Structures are given as structure tokens and as C-alpha cells.
């Protein structure tokens, strides 16, 4: 269970830089999620850790030991692939035990470990099957089992759930979260799905265009995003961004006039404000008046897509409010939940003392 340090790690293909120098420390025994949109460099980072790609610069150390020149097998890592990457000609038991057989672990030891992992994943009745005779979810479990029996120091997950349908994905996510607690290993999980990131990660590293935007606990990222990118990426439905002007203690823009959030320094001139859909509530006495364009009914909650001047604003409200498209509804916004961003740099304005 090493502490993993990436020091100025870089990746170029010819002249194209896919990963600018990156510094990252992954603590021992942590479940770290690398999350970001496609092409942000998260998978490349994982493949560099696994040794499937060679570094163009920098160094990776496991507990201070440089490993960037080592072959994958010398790194003591196990990996779960997005497309499962099972060996089609081997049955489930053989798939799971391949690494152990290669390293000449005694047969009864192999059997014991395969049986234990298979039972944990609920695939003990499938051990004789070939991958072609398994469903997507079962293959996914076998891929997981293959990593588990290794008992490696580091577990790498490359979007392991993205090939599953929504329902199965949710179930596997829960199982993974459970499994995470019983395995005290360094786990690194790559996904583009912020829900997976929030539910699984002890720590989340948000990446964009090859650069780390922010790292921290799910609460950190949700409540205290450092910039507009993180604020917009984390949380669903996504945050509303509106251009505004700071006028005294008011934030004024097209179609709205909101109080300045308490505790924040008062900025000058143009700003961009961010309001989470969950911070907007229906309040018939409130001054903010918005026309509903679409009402997305989700059960207990509904997401109202509304117009505010030229901008679209999402509001997550109780379905009981029964707002209909075409209606004009009055909304209240909790001032404490308003975030202010620099319109140029996208950096969030933080209260004195935070950050």
C-alpha cells in the first residue's frame, strides 16, 4: 500500500502534448477518483501509473521508489479495464487466476483465493464459463475479481462501469462502495461521471485539459469549488451561471436583482454568479420572476427550465408546486448559496479566511 507521488509527470505523442507536467500525491489506503470530461488526461494518467504508457518527462514514485522505468508487472498494480479485457479463451476461474499462475503461486492457494474473490462478487457459480457466455454485468465482476485475487498494492480502475446500463451501473457502484471499505488498498478510479466520483471517492481530483483543477473531498468540491469549471462539473443538475454587475450590496443582471451573499468581499463591476438549482425555491412572495419553459418531472422533484433574460436557469423544486410550462413563477434564492466568479479567470471569490 504505497504512497504514490507523481512529480512533473508529462506525456507527449510526437509534438502533441496530451498531459502537461502534473504533480499529484495519492495517500496510502485512499480511494482517489480522477474525474473530468473526455480528453482531460485522466485515463492517460492512469495508464502511466500502470506502465502501459511511457512517461515523456517527470517521475512516478511508489513510497519513494521511482517506478517509471519498470514494466507493468514489476509495479505491483492490478487494473480493471473499461471493456473488461477478459481473456476470451479462458474460463472465469482461469481468467481470475492468470496472474497467480504466472507467478507460480501454489495450486491450493490459487483455488482458495479465486474461490474467496468469486464468492465476494457473487460469481462462484460461473467459474467454468467462458467470457462469451457471460452478461455485461457478470464480465464486469470477473474483471473485478481478476484484480482482487492479485492482492496487489495498487488498484487501478479505468471507467469500469461505463459499459453497463444505468440500473446495473448504480448497483455496481453501491457494491464497489461497499467493497472499498473492506479493502485497505490504494485505489485509483478514473471516470467521467461526477456521480460515481462523488459517491465513491475519499478524495476527488478534478481534471480539465490535462490540468488538475482542484482536489479534495466530495464536500470540498461541492461546497467550495475553486473555479467555474469545478462548480459546473460537480453537482447535478449543473450549476446556473449568469453574468451580473455588482452594484452596492446588490448583484444585478438581465432579469434579476439579487442580494450580495453575506460574508463575501464586495467585488467591483462585472462578475459571474453561480447558483445551484437546489438553491432556488418557489416562493410566491419573492421578487425574482421567471417564465417556465420546460418542466422535467423526476418524481418527488422536478427540474424547471426557466428563462431569465437571454439565459436559461434551472431550478430543482418539489414536484408538488405543479409549475407548468408557459407559466411565470416567483422564485427565492438563498443569498448564502450564491457563488461569485471572476468573469475573466473563472476563479471563485472566497470569503476572507477561506481558501
Examine residue 106 and tell whether it contacts other proteins (CB under 8 A). Answer: no
Let me know: does 186 contact 155? Beta carbons within 8 Å.
yes
Examine residue 133 and tell whether it contacts other proteins (CB under 8 A). Answer: yes
Among 19, 22, 60, 86, binds other proteins (CB under 8 A): 86
| Contacts (CB under 8 A) with other proteins, residues 134-193 | 134-135, 138, 146, 150
Alpha carbons 202 and 29: distance in angstroms, whole number: 10
Shortest distance, CB of residue 15 to other proteins, whole angstroms? 16
Among 52, 70, 168, 177, binds other proteins (CB under 8 A): 52
Let me know: does 55 contact 8? Beta carbons within 8 Å.
no
Please tell me the number of Cα atoms within 13 Å of 333 on its side-chain side. 24
- What is the pairing mode between strands 31-35 and 186-191? parallel
Residue 224 CB: number of other CB atoms within 10 A?
18
Q: Which is nearer to other proteins, 152 or 251 (CB)?
A: 152
CA angle 19, 24, 27 (to 5 degrees): 145
With cell 504466472, the residue in question is 102
**DSSP letter (8 states) at residue 246:** E
Among 21, 72, 232, 255, binds other proteins (CB under 8 A): 72
For residue 161 the three cell numbers come to 462501469
CB neighbour list of residue 166: distance below 8 Å, 6 or more residues apart:
none
Q: Which is nearer to other proteins, 81 or 222 (CB)?
A: 81
Stretch that binds other proteins, among 49-57, 218-226, 254-262, 297-305 (CB under 8 A): 49-57
Examine residue 50 and tell whether it contacts other proteins (CB under 8 A). Answer: yes
Shortest distance, CB of residue 4 to other proteins, whole angstroms? 16
Secondary structure of residue 234 in the 3-state scheme: coil
Residue 237 CB: number of other CB atoms within 10 A?
16
Stretch that binds other proteins, among 33-41, 82-90, 228-236, 281-289 (CB under 8 A): 82-90
Shortest distance, CB of residue 201 to other proteins, whole angstroms? 22
Binders of other proteins: how many residues, by CB under 8 A?
31
- For 198, phi then psi, to 5°, come to -70, -40
Q: Which is nearer to other proteins, 146 or 192 (CB)?
A: 146
CB neighbour list of residue 9: distance below 8 Å, 6 or more residues apart:
19, 21, 22, 23, 24, 45, 48, 55, 57, 58, 59, 60
Examine residue 130 and tell whether it contacts other proteins (CB under 8 A). Answer: yes
With cell 492517460, the residue in question is 44
Examine residue 70 and tell whether it contacts other proteins (CB under 8 A). Answer: no
Among 81, 124, 220, 337, binds other proteins (CB under 8 A): 81
Shortest distance, CB of residue 103 to other proteins, whole angstroms? 6
Among 77, 123, 264, 275, binds other proteins (CB under 8 A): 77
**DSSP letter (8 states) at residue 72:** G
Kindly provide the residue ranges of all beta strands, DSSP E only, lying in 119-179, ordered along the sequence.
154-158
Shortest distance, CB of residue 1 to other proteins, whole angstroms? 18
Q: Which is nearer to other proteins, 76 or 202 (CB)?
A: 76
CA angle 262, 303, 330 (to 5 degrees): 55
**DSSP letter (8 states) at residue 349:** P
Shortest distance, CB of residue 128 to other proteins, whole angstroms? 11
Shortest distance, CB of residue 28 to other proteins, whole angstroms? 21
Q: Which is nearer to other proteins, 85 or 236 (CB)?
A: 85
Binding site for other proteins (CB under 8 A): 50-52, 71-73, 77-79, 81-89, 98-99, 102-103, 129-130, 132-135, 138, 146, 150
Amino acid at each position: 500500500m504505497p504512497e504514490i507521488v507523481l512529480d512533473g509527470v508529462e506525456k507527449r505523442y510526437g509534438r502533441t502534448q496530451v498531459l502537461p507536467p502534473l504533480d499529484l500525491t495519492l495517500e496510502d489506503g485512499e480511494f482517489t477518483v480522477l474525474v473530468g470530461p473526455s480528453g482531460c488526461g485522466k485515463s492517460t494518467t492512469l495508464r502511466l501509473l500502470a506502465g502501459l504508457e511511457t512517461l515523456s518527462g517527470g517521475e512516478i514514485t511508489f513510497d519513494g521508489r521511482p517506478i517509471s522505468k519498470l514494466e507493468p508487472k514489476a509495479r505491483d498494480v492490478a487494473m480493471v479495464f473499461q471493456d473488461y479485457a477478459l481473456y476470451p479463451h479462458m474460463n472465469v476461474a482461469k481468467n481470475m487466476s492468470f496472474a497467480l499462475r504466472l507467478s507460480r503461486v501454489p495450486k491450493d492457494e490459487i483455488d482458495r483465493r479465486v474461490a474467496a474473490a468469486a464468492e465476494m462478487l457473487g460469481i462462484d457459480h460461473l467459474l467454468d464459463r467462458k467470457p462469451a457466455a457471460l452478461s455485461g454485468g457478470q464480465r464486469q465482476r470477473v474483471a473485478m475479481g481478476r484484480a482482487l485475487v492479485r492482492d496487489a498494492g495498487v488498484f487501478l480502475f479505468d471507467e469500469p462501469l461505463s459499459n453497463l446500463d444505468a440500473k446495473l451501473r448504480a448497483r455496481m457502484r453501491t457494491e464497489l462502495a461497499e467493497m472499498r471499505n473492506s479493502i485497505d488498498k490504494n485505489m485509483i478510479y478514473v471516470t467521467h461521471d461526477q456521480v460515481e466520483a462523488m459517491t465513491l471517492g475519499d478524495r476527488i481530483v478534478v481534471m480539465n485539459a490535462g490540468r488538475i483543477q482542484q482536489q479534495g473531498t466530495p464536500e470540498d468540491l461541492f461546497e467550495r469549488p475553486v473555479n467555474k469549471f469545478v462548480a459546473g462539473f460537480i453537482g447535478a443538475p449543473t450549476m446556473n451561471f449568469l453574468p451580473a454587475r455588482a452594484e452596492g450590496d446588490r448583484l444585478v443582471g438581465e432579469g434579476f436583482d439579487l442580494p450580495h451573499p453575506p460574508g463575501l468581499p464586495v467585488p467591483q463591476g462585472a462578475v459571474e454568479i453561480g447558483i445551484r438549482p437546489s438553491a432556488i425555491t418557489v416562493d410566491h412572495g419573492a421578487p425574482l420572476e421567471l417564465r417556465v419553459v420546460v418542466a422535467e418531472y423526476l418524481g418527488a422533484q422536478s427540474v424547471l427550465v426557466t428563462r431569465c433574460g437571454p439565459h436559461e436557469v434551472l431550478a430543482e423544486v418539489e414536484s408538488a408546486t405543479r409549475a407548468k410550462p408557459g407559466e411565470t413563477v416567483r422564485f427565492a434564492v438563498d443569498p448564502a448559496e450564491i457563488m461569485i466568479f471572476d468573469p475573466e479567470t473563472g476563479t471563485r471569490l472566497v470569503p476572507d479566511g477561506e481558501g
